[in-house]
Amino acid sequence: MPEIAEFVNRGGTTITPSIVEKVLRHLPQWKLEFTQINEPLFPHLADQLEFLADAVEDTAEGVYKDLPYVAFAQAVFALIYSHKKVGIIPDSMLNLGRADDSSVVRAVLIRNEAAFALYATSQQRDWSQITSQA
């Protein structure tokens, strides 16, 4: 997992305000796509992506102001990565296509656990239902 964590760190540093603006325009459509994820090997992935999308939206719109920028940027990176159909492992690979997406999302949640737990609490969401520990 250290390689994935480093990948997430590097990816987070590439996020600019312009990229965030583009992601926000596409986020409603992506959220719909994420709800269609049905991967028995990664049962929490759709909920985790929805959670990250909500955190990004709320932070970008100023509704939630306490998410550290590094957590925000890494969440944006995870959303972009998960939306792409071709990643480290192409999404079309049977049973494994979402393994890389799940790893990236889990790395973001784990690396920023305290910040996202506070966000979950502020939104009256059960962190244990979102976290990769579930």
- Residue reference for tokens 């579930």: 134
Alpha-carbon radius of gyration of the chain: 14
Query: What 3-state class would DSSP assign to 96?
Result: coil
Q: Pull the structure tokens for residue 3.
A: 């390689």
What letter would DSSP give residue 83? H
pLDDT at 81 over 50: yes
How far apart are alpha carbons 128 and 80 in whole angstroms? Answer: 24
Report which residue type is found at 127: W
**What is the residue extent of each domain of the chain?**
2-123
Whole-angstrom Cα distance, residue 44 to residue 106?
Answer: 10
How would you class 132 by CB atoms within 10 Å of its CB: exposed for 0-12, middle for 13-18, buried for 19 or more?
A: middle
Question: Per-residue pLDDT for 8 more than 60?
Answer: yes
> Over the stretch 41-71, which tens digit does the pLDDT of each residue have?
777 888 999 999 999 999 999 999 999 999 9
Q: Whole-model pTM?
A: 0.88
Q: Which residues contact 106 (CB under 8 A, 6 or more apart)?
A: 48, 132
Q: Which pLDDT does position 90 carry in this prediction?
A: 47
